[in-house]
Amino acid sequence: MSRIRHAISNLFRLSNIGTMIFFLLNFYILFALFGGDPSIIGLYVISLVISFSPIGQSLLCTFNGAKRMVRTDMRERVLPVVEEVYAAAKRKTPELPNRIRVRVMYDPNPNAFAIGTNTICVTEGMLDLPDNEMAGIIAHEMGHLALQHTVVQILIGSGNLIMTIIMLFLELMRAIFSVGTVVGTVSRSRGSGLGAIFAALSAGIIFLWTKICMLFLMGSSRANEYRADEYAFQIGYGEDLAEALDRLTMGTPQATLLKALNSSHPEPGDRIGRLQSMGVTYSRY
């Protein structure tokens, strides 16, 4: 019961408002198009059941290119750090899963991300970082798991899958009308007009749905990055995270406003500044 309360309290936080708006927009479009057809709701429920099942969790790793860590030297390098951070996180958040899975991506760039309900993926390049910086990054990802950010991603991803199928259907219909117009399967005057209207309608829906929803999603994502940073600080890894952020992003040019609005992560300098305002004493200068 405590895990359910924990999940609900984290799902309906202010930082998730953009995600919730995205979620409601998806369902509004579904109901507008299909009038609450039970089969559509059933499809969403089935997709959720699959996503939260062990099979769905494994598929998430596969789709993201994350593999089981089979090299002994890799496991000996990263697992002790994960276990140390997990112990600190579990003391703060007893609702965390009883086991955290670690997966690897063979990418030389240092990076990590949390997916599913209990999985942290690290790149091969991250294993070259000092222990404390690796711990800071893992503490941040542990924050995403503890704060249910990855659960929100699953909820949204399942709804987004259904909307993607619908959009593909609209594109297919548009293509059929266009082809029908060209080959003369419909009358030239009526076919061209109908094809043009359907093409404009489907293109407009896809464009607006994609752009508006992505802005909401990216806004929530940036807010949740700050929350995961704060979580890392609260369990004792704020200094390490700030140092890692500085090392990994040093020299990166500042994003333009448009690019920043469409980014899932805040500016590294802003994140370090937030950590310093919490009490982190790290300084590069």
Query: What's the CA gap between 228 and 159, in Å, rounded?
Result: 24
253 and 139 assigned to the same domain: no
Query: What's the CA gap between 162 and 41, in Å, rounded?
Result: 10
Edge-first strand listing for the sheet containing 119-123: 67-68, 101-105, 119-123, 112-115
The owner of tokens 């500016």 is: 267
Q: Is residue 156 part of a domain?
A: no
Q: Is residue 283 part of a domain?
A: no
Query: Do the Cβ atoms of 52 and 118 come closer than 8 Å?
Result: no
192 and 229 assigned to the same domain: yes
What's the CATH number where 126 sits? 3.30.2010.10
The residues pairing with 23 across neighbouring beta strands, listed in sequence order, are none
178 and 122 assigned to the same domain: no
20 and 139 assigned to the same domain: yes
What is the pTM (predicted TM-score) of this model?
0.74
61 and 194 assigned to the same domain: no
116 and 175 assigned to the same domain: no
Q: Is residue 259 part of a domain?
A: yes
Show which of 89, 123, 149 is a domain's final residue: 149
**DSSP string covering 197-227, please?**
HHHHHHHHHHHHHHHHHHHHHHHHHHHHHHH
- Tally Cβ neighbours within 10 Å of residue 236: 16
CA 278 to chain centre: 25
7 and 88 assigned to the same domain: yes
The first and second tokens of residue 34, run together, are 């299909």
Q: Is residue 208 part of a domain?
A: yes
- Of 111, 115, 89, 91, the residue nearest 101 (C-alpha): 115
The domain of 96 spans: 2-149
For residue 263, what pLDDT is reported?
A: 73
Per-residue pLDDT of the chain (285 residues; tens, 9 = 90+): 555 565 556 666 666 666 666 667 666 666 666 666 677 667 767 777 777 777 877 888 888 888 999 999 999 999 999 999 999 999 999 999 999 999 999 999 999 999 888 999 999 999 999 999 999 999 999 999 999 888 777 766 655 555 666 666 666 666 666 655 545 554 445 555 665 666 666 666 666 666 666 676 777 788 889 999 999 999 999 999 999 999 887 656 665 545 555 577 888 899 999 999 999 999 988
For helices 149-183 and 38-52, the axis angle rounded to 10 degrees is: 130
Domain total in the chain: 2
123 and 9 assigned to the same domain: yes
